[in-house]
Amino acid sequence: MSVAIRLSRGGAKKRPYYKVVVSNSRAPRDGKYLEQVGTYNPLLAKDDENRVRLNEDRVRYWLGVGAQPTDRVARMLDKAGIMERAATNNPKKGEPGDKAKERAEEKAEKLREAEEAAKAAAEAPAEEASAAEEAPAAEATEEQTEG
């Protein structure tokens, strides 16, 4: 039987209170457990001594016989100095997903096309204006030669 040290939720709706329990890893979260080894109240301030209470002797015993703590409980045990936990590293944490990357590329492409269109529109009136200036000048020279 594999044994886990994990949290069992109690309390009212939107007012959680957790027991740190040792249970069969296949048992339901709030189901039957072997032993309660502590409590966790997330509503208290982080520096409050009553936020996490652990029975260190029993936790050390269960770790000694092979109980595996969940990630959240392992963090609590590390903070209490009972068990050392290796820091995790997730280099992709801040990276957007595939769909977000595609949307960003499409947006950049549309912006690039809009800039090119604006640049072409700015150059076209200048060409038309210079062509319009040349045309009246040509007509004026033709009128002078006729007259």
- pLDDT tens over the chain, length 147 residues: 799 999 999 999 999 999 999 999 999 999 999 999 999 999 999 999 999 999 999 999 999 999 999 999 999 999 999 989 887 888 888 889 999 999 999 999 999 999 999 988 888 766 665 655 555 555 555 555 655
Task: Tell me the residue type at 17.
Answer: Y
Structure tokens at 31: 């189901």
Residue 14, SS3 per DSSP: coil
**Which residue carries 């249970």 as its tokens?**
23
Give Rg (Cα) of the chain: 36
Task: Please tell me the distance from the alpha carbon of residue 103 to that of residue 97, in angstroms, as a whole number.
Answer: 10
Task: Please tell me the distance from the alpha carbon of residue 76 to that of residue 69, in angstroms, as a whole number.
Answer: 10
Give the chain's mean pLDDT: 87
Are the C-beta atoms of 16 and 42 separated by less than 8 Å?
yes
pLDDT in tens, 106-143: 999 999 999 999 988 888 766 665 655 555 555 555 55
Task: Please tell me the distance from the alpha carbon of residue 38 to that of residue 36, in angstroms, as a whole number.
Answer: 6
- Which pTM was predicted? 0.62
